Amino acid sequence: MPSAEAFISRTHIAYLSMEIAVRPEMRSYAGGLGILAGDVARSCADLELPVVFVTLLSRAGYFRQKIDAEGRQSEAPDWWQPERWCAPLNAMVAVEIERKPVWIRPWLYVHACPHGHRVPILFLDTDLDQNGEEDRVLTHYLYGGDEEYRLKQEIILGVGGIRILRALGFDLHTYHLNEGHAALLTLDLLNRWRIPPEERIAGELAYDIAEVRERCAFTTHTPVEAAQDRFSYALFERLLPDFIELEALKKLAGEDRLNLTRLALSLAGYVNGVARRHAEITKQMYPGYRVHAVTNGVHAGTWTHKAFAELYGAHWPHWQHEPEVLVRALHLGDDELWRCHEKAKAELVEGVKASTGIVLDMGLPIIGFARRMTGYKRPLLLFEDLDRLAAIASRHPFQVVLAGKAHPRDSEGKESIRRICDLIARLRGRVACAFLPDYDMQMAMMLVAGCDLWLNTPLPPLEASGTSGMKAAFNGVLSLSVRDGWWIEACIEGVTGWSIDPEGEAPERHAALLYERLESAVLPRYHADRAGWCRMMKGAIANITSHFNSQRMMRRYASEAYLR
């Protein structure tokens, strides 16, 4: 029988996240949040940080995306086999939902880093004989179902998660809540620190908030209030009757609705946003809270193509453990750099052909855009003026590769996929474009390594951080991006990449500015100044990867959030 025994005495921190991208074949993630959580776990192993991870099993994954001939997205369950990678633990806890027990059992996955240090990742599962049909599906569909299904999942993650940890014998001093989804864990802690009626001071809360705050750290990821989890108290009370004193909860989580971001802000002794701008926005949205900024980073070993990894390894054997040394990348030779790039690009060209039949030209630059297909990411910005785009391509040829899923209920996101497919057909013969279906971690690895230019066009200030441009930089792929999220901190114009809106110009002007940048700066440099392009590749590697890596991020979390 596998056990978590080996980890129990040396683990002091728990990290809870609705999704974690552990490896591409394990489909328990949807996008950026899960990829980040996976990079956190990988860096914790590298740095030997004593952390245990908790997430939902999500047996049916997020979804498999299919695109029909008209560009319409359809979704199919993305089942995966936990037993291929994980082992069920001999432990079970129950959480009462609607006054009946929902049983939860964890599966253990052990992530080992290259030098052998390991971290445990627990996947919570309710698909058990002990549960009725309705409860067995609660850990199947990531971000699926209605509001009630979502709240039940969050109860399982937060309340179920802390109970599983306790049942297994973990003795933890910090719970790190990755986004509001995990915030219900605080309710269990509140109950542990309930003040007996005879000791209460009139007018004060019935719980010892200071004790809870000491144990919780919270990372918020969403700069839009409407996108944050909020539930009606009627629903909450129906699912968790008499669980917590409602009056106190309303003081912590909002009077009208249960706002999980506010709950976590109120009960975490350490709060941070995922980039400096995002921390500022969060403080404007929630005045009165102290919000730190630990800007996201990505995991060097995961996101660097093998060819580049070998190149870096030959120069700096310890670069994965200490990506700061990549600051010396300015000394790399143009030829060795370009050879690595061509290897990664050839794999992308091969992948695009296998997926779509479209044959791209190795000699022309590839512009990549892959992210969640949703309004604020503005996937259509590049296509706003087709004639202009084609005119630019006739003078400075280029190709475009796109990918991304729209949430099944995001009709605007689905419509933008449909329009992109239509526009691709209209550009045929003028600009080669391909939309690759079913964007996931594996495809992201191919795209962020194989493109020449990585395009990022969010509507400011809605991109909390963004991470795919960081992955691109590990492979010498340059960014052309709106100044938002991480890019505000990373862009040195003409050195690490380019900004579409260097002066923070109005969003209506972004398409025109994008064309102007492509036409006068980016494409001429690619076609007529290869040495200048290589200099920028080195500028991006040196300046971006040495800072925007998850080793730096986790060292900061360790010293500032975990060792308070």
Ligand X SMILES: *Cc1c(COP(=O)(O)O)cnc(C)c1O
422: left (phi over 0), alpha (psi -120 to 50) or beta: alpha
Q: Is the Cβ of residue 231 or residue 454 nearer to ligand X in the bound state?
A: 454
Binding mask 483-522 for ligand X (x = CB under 6 A): ----------------------------------------
Q: Out of 31, 71, 297, 351, which residue is the one contacting ligand X (CB under 6 A)?
A: 31
Scanning 91-99, 246-254, 464-472, 554-562 for contacts with ligand X by CB under 6 A, the matching segment is 464-472
Closest CA to 42 of 379, 260, 243, 323: 323
Q: Please, what is the Cα angle at 277 between 276 and 279, to 5 degrees?
A: 65
Q: HSE-up of 443 (CA within 13 Å, CB side)?
A: 21
The reply on whether position 440 binds ligand X by CB under 6 A is yes
- What phi and psi values does residue 42 have, to the nearest 5 degrees? -65, -40
CB closer to ligand X out of 240 and 453: 453
Q: Decide: is 27 part of the binding site for ligand X (CB under 6 A).
A: no
Among the residue ranges 408-416, 466-474, 475-483, 505-513, the one whose residues contact ligand X (CB under 6 A) = 466-474
| β-pair partners for 17 | 178
User: Could you give the CA distance from residue 212 to residue 248 in angstroms, rounded to a whole number?
Assistant: 14
Peptide bond into 461 cis (omega under 30): yes
Q: Rule CB under 6 A: is residue 302 a binding residue for ligand X?
A: no
Binding mask 360-399 for ligand X (x = CB under 6 A): -----------x----------------------------
As measured in angstroms, the least distance from the Cβ of 403 to ligand X is 9
Q: Which of 351, 460, 466, 476 binds ligand X (CB under 6 A)?
A: 466
Q: Are 159 and 80 in contact (CB under 8 A)?
A: no
State yes or no: residue 32 binds ligand X (CB under 6 A). yes
Q: Is 444 in the site for ligand X (CB under 6 A)?
A: yes
Is 43 among the residues that bind ligand X (CB under 6 A)?
A: no
What are the C-alpha distances in Å from 509 to residues 375, 512, 516? 17, 6, 11
Could you tell me if 372 and 413 are in contact, meaning their C-beta atoms sit under 8 angstroms apart? Answer: yes
Contact 19, 33 (CB under 8 A): yes
* Interatomic CA distance for residues 437 and 350, integer angstroms: 15
Residues 312-371 that bind ligand X (CB under 6 A): 371
# binding residues, ligand X (CB under 6 A): 12
Q: Are strands 478-481 and 453-456 parallel, antiparallel or unpaired?
A: parallel
Q: Tell me the HSE value of 254 on the side-chain side, using a 13 A CA sphere.
A: 18
- Would you say 57 or 441 has its CB closer to ligand X? 441
Of 82 and 466, the one with the shorter C-beta distance to ligand X is 466
CB of 463 to ligand X, least distance (A): 7
Which region, judged by CB under 6 A, interacts with ligand X, from 122-130, 181-189, 352-360, 435-443?
A: 435-443
Q: Binding residue for ligand X (CB under 6 A) from 228, 259, 295, 468?
A: 468
Query: For residues 35 and 307, which CB has a smaller minimum distance to ligand X in the complex?
Result: 35
178 binds ligand X (CB under 6 A): no
Which residue in 41, 38, 59 sits closest to 50, CA to CA?
41
Closer residue to ligand X, CB minimum distance, 27 or 215: 27
Tokens for 212, please give them.
């809870």
Residue with Cβ nearer ligand X (186 or 481): 481
- How many angstroms separate the CA atoms of 138 and 152, rounded? 7
- The answer to whether residues 502 and 492 touch, using CB atoms and an 8 Å cutoff, is no
The answer to whether residue 467 forms part of the interface with ligand X (CB under 6 A) is yes
* CA distances from residue 44 to 1, 40, 146, 196, 552 in whole angstroms, order as listed: 25, 6, 34, 39, 11
Spell out a b/e string for 234-265, using b for 16 or more CB atoms within 10 Å of the CB, else e: ebbeebbeebbeeebbeebbbeebbbbbbbbb
Say which residues have a Cβ less than 8 Å from residue 128's Cβ, sequence separation at least 6.
Answer: 92, 103, 104, 105, 136
Task: Give the whole-angstrom CA distance, residue 301 versus residue 506.
Answer: 38
User: Is the Cβ of residue 111 or residue 221 nearer to ligand X in the bound state?
Assistant: 221
- Whether the CB-CB separation of 138 and 156 falls below 8 Å is answered with yes
SS3 content of the chain, % helix, strand, coil (to 5): 45, 20, 35
Select 152 or 371, whichever has its Cβ closest to ligand X.
371
Provide the minimum distance between the beta carbon of 20 and ligand X in the complex, in angstroms, as a whole number: 13
Q: Which is nearer to ligand X, 111 or 471 (CB)?
A: 471
In the complex, what is the shortest distance from the CB of residue 475 to ligand X, in angstroms, rounded to a whole number? Answer: 13
Identify which range of 88-96, 219-227, 235-243, 439-447 contacts ligand X by CB under 6 A: 439-447
Minimum CB–partner distance for residue 223 and ligand X (Å)? 13
478 binds ligand X (CB under 6 A): no
Of positions 35, 113, 274, 279, contacts ligand X by CB under 6 A = 35
Quick one: 24 or 254, whose CB is closer to ligand X? 24
Question: Smallest distance from the beta carbon of 333 to ligand X, in angstroms?
Answer: 29
Task: Please report how close the Cβ of residue 370 comes to ligand X at its closest, in angstroms.
Answer: 7
Residue 58 in the binding site for ligand X (CB under 6 A):
no
Please state the closest distance from residue 479 (CB atom) to ligand X, in A: 10
Q: Are strands 64-67 and 73-76 parallel, antiparallel or unpaired?
A: antiparallel
Is residue 161 at the binding interface for ligand X, with CB under 6 A as the rule?
no
* Complex with ligand X: residue 252 or 482, whichever CB lies closer: 482
Minimum Å gap between C-beta 251 and ligand X is 34
Instruction: Give min distance, CB of 35 to ligand X, in A.
Output: 4
Stretch that binds ligand X, among 1-9, 100-108, 308-316, 436-444 (CB under 6 A): 436-444
Q: Which residues of this chain interact with ligand X, rule CB under 6 A?
A: 31-32, 35, 371, 439-441, 444, 466-468, 471
